[in-house]
Each structure stands twice: as C-alpha cells, then as structure tokens.
Amino acid sequence: MAELSYRDAVAAGIAQEMERDERVVFLGEDIGAAGGVFKATVGLVDRFGPRRVRDTPISELAILGAAMGAAMTGLRPIAEIMFSDFLACCWDYVANEISKTRYMTNGQFTMPLVIRTANGAGSRFGAQHSQSVENWAMAIPGIKVVAPSTPADVKGLLAAAIRDPDPVLFFEHKSLYGMKGEVPDGEHVESLGHAKVLRRGDDITIVALAAMVPRALQAAEILASQHRISATVIDLRCLVPLDTQTILAEVIRTGRLFTVEENPRLCGWGAEISSIVTEECFYDLDQPVVRITTPHIPLPAADALEDAVIPSVGRIVQEVLRAADFRPRSANGL
C-alpha cells in the first residue's frame, strides 16, 4: 500500500491504463504541459508524449465530439471537462450523442470513453464553478455515472471506467483532491455498480456520495459516541449502474434511511433511491426516508454562505436526531 492523494490517484489511474493499452488517449484543456488546473494530470505528457496526451483549445464541443469520434473508431479516449459546470456547454454530446448513438444505431457502435470532470463545492468558486451535477447525468439513459470518495477508489474506479465498453461520466470532487489515503500497490481495478458499506450499524442507514461520504462517516461517529445511535454508512460510488441490492439490504435491516446529497434538492439521486425504497421495502421502514441536501438554490460564493448550505457533519447529526419519533431499534427491541 502506498499513500496517495486523491489528485495523484487520478494520474496514477490514467497512467496505469495508458501503460497497458495503446488505444487509451487523453485530451482536454491544460491537461498536458500544465498538468491540469487541479494538478491531477501532472507528468502524463512527459511519460506518454503529446501524441497521446493532447492539449486542446477551450472548445468543449470539440473535446467531447472528438472523444466520441475516436471511441467509435477504435480508441478509448479520456476527455477532461475542467469543471463539471462546463458540461452545460457541451451537454449535447452527453445527452444526445454519446449516450444514445449505440441504441439508435441498433448496436452498430460501442462507445468506450470516459469524461472526467471536477465536481462539487468547497472552493468558494460560486454558482458556476461549484455545482454538483451528477444528477443531471443520472437522468440520461445510456451513460454510466461514477463519483469516488477516496484515492483508492479514484484509481480503481477510473481504471474500471476506462476499461468499460460504455461511456462513463467520472466525477472527481474538487474538495477531495488534497485528501490522502492508502492505494493498493500494483494494478488496481474496481468494478462499476457496486456500493461499499463503510461501516455497519443497526439503527439507521446513511447513503452518501463523493465529498458527502467523509461527512457521513464523521456524523456516524458522533451519533455513535454521543447519542448511542448505530449507523450504517454506504458509499454509493456509482449512480449508474445503481447498486440497489446493497441499499435495500441495509435499509431492510435498519428500517431507517437518510441520504446525504450535495446536489440541489429537486431530482437529486436521493429522490430516486427514496422512490425505490418506498416501492420495494415500504413495510420494512420505521420512518419516512429523510433526504439531507443542499437547498434548491444556486450556490453562493462566500465561505460563510457556502458552508451554511452544503450538508455539514452537524446538519447530518441534527437531521438524524430530529427524524420523527426516533427510537433506536437496539433500544426498543425491534
């Protein structure tokens, strides 16, 4: 095991795959000579050369279009969109082209490409550089959606995304780039579509994604140590494919579900999970599902405001305690 930062795990994952497969190419703005604006791709152009690591103009349409055309003709491109907010500039490729062309052509193409992008708040960049937009992508049939919370998962899930025959939108969380963690030595590949139970408790289930995962874990610690509430914490890791089996199993066991979502309220991924849980294990629930989200507002820039609206450890604890008629299963014999 080596300790890597989340940002270094990005370069490590890309390098691992470029090393083993000549078809893997990488393009985006400032990714080569500059090493990426978040320094997540440092060293790749030196190692693999400008033929495989290509700096592009500020042309998001050309970046995603070129990645798609390359994927349709035998390459396995990785395209970087610098900030996930900029996906709005090239959403046609995500929503209409990359995701639908295999289906529309009755399977004449496969589309093995990865779109990497820096997602989420915490950097005080304001409403156009801080959004969590994974739920935009989740609404589109035909594209897989991944959002890792640890350096090990960055490397392993990125490798899996690059090897996947389908298009994957890979959300890196910009507030996690500095996070350090153990990453397995040697080749490391995870599989898409598997949530991870990070701790197992008996009273409640908390499902979180990306930067909300460490917050959910801290909240679970506080709930256990100060309130004798024992929480399962699930790191969702992928929104598509969605690991409903893991979620349903934990919800059935604990009877209570909380989602922690950085996205604005409406149509966040937690709404879909809430719907599935309600349809499929309603009679196992001891209370309504509680969604803890950013309010339905554009993100403000000031640190005080941003901190106030993104779900915090304190707010997660509060929401759990405030949930109506909360009695731990361990206390009432259920």
Partner 1 sequence: MSSAVNRRPAPSPAPSDAPEALAPETQRALYRLLVELRYTEKRAYDLFLQNLIKGTSHLALGQEAVAAGFGHAMQKDDYTFCTYRGHDHTLARGASITGVLGELMGRQCGLLAGKGGSMHLTSVEHGVMGSYAIVGAHIPIAIGAAWSAQYRGTRQAAVAFFGDGTTNIGAFHEAINMAAVWKLPAVFVCENNLYMEYTPIRSVTAVDHPAADRAASYGLPSIIVDGNDVEAVYRVARQALALARDGGGPSLIECKTYRHSGHSRADPAKYRPPEEVQAWMERDPVPAYRRQLLAAGMAESVLAEIERVAMAAVDQATETAKASPPPELASAFTDVWADGGAAWRN
**Residue 68 interacts with partner 1 (CB under 8 A): yes or no:** yes
Q: Mark the segment that binds partner 1 (CB under 8 A) among 11-19, 151-159, 238-246, 291-299.
A: 238-246
Nearer to partner 1, 57 or 186 (CB): 57
Stretch that binds partner 1, among 242-250, 257-265, 295-303, 311-319 (CB under 8 A): 242-250
Residue closer to partner 1, measured from CB, 110 or 123: 110
- Is position 19 an interface residue for partner 1 (rule: CB under 8 A)? no
| Site for partner 1, residues 156 to 215, rule: CB under 8 A | 165-166, 193
Question: Which of 245, 201, 194 minimizes the C-alpha distance to 220?
Answer: 201
Residue 88 as a binder of partner 1 (CB under 8 A): the answer is no
* Element holding 185 (H helix, E strand): none
By beta-carbon proximity to partner 1, the closer residue of 245 and 330 is: 245
Report the candidate in 96, 191, 171 with the shortest Cα–Cα distance to residue 139: 96
Residue among 39, 43, 65, 126 that touches partner 1 (CB under 8 A): 65
Question: Would you call 129 a catalytic residue per the annotation?
Answer: yes
Is 137 a residue that touches partner 1 (CB under 8 A)?
no
312 contributes a contact to partner 1 by CB under 8 A: no
Classify residue 295 by burial, with Cβ atoms within 10 Å: 0-12, 13-18, 19+. exposed
Between CA 93 and CA 161, with CA 208 as vertex, the angle to 5 degrees is 40
DSSP output for 191-234:
-TT--EEEE--SSEEEEE-TTHHHHHHHHHHHHHHHH---EEEE
203, two tokens: 């009273």
Site string for partner 1, 144-163 (x = CB under 8 A): --------------------
Task: Pick between residue 100 and residue 265 the one whose CB is nearest to partner 1.
Answer: 100
Position among 30, 39, 42, 62 found at the interface with partner 1 (CB under 8 A): 62
Identify the DSSP state of 317. H
Using CA atoms, how far residue 260 sits from 46, 95, 291, 308, 316, in Å, is 40, 26, 6, 15, 8
239: nearest Cα among 83, 94, 89, 133: 133
Minimum distance from CB of 96 to partner 1 (Å)?
A: 6
Size of the site for partner 1 (CB under 8 A): 51
Give Cα separations from 7 to 3, 67, 151 (angstroms). 12, 22, 8
The residue within the footprint of partner 1, chosen from 85, 203, 243, 262 (CB under 8 A), is 243
* 257 contacts: CB under 8 Å, gap ≥ 6: 204, 205, 207, 247, 251, 273, 274, 277, 285, 289, 290
Picking from 35, 92, 85, 42, the residue whose alpha carbon sits closest to that of residue 62 is 92
Q: Does residue 105 bind partner 1 (CB under 8 A)?
A: yes
State the catalytic residue, choosing from 129, 188, 194, 296.
129
Q: What is the DSSP letter of 293?
A: E
Question: Cβ 237 to partner 1, closest distance in Å?
Answer: 13
Q: Would you name the residues annotated as active-site residues? A: 129
Binding site for partner 1 (CB under 8 A): 25, 51, 54, 56-57, 59-75, 77, 92-93, 96-97, 101-112, 141-142, 165-166, 193, 240-245, 276
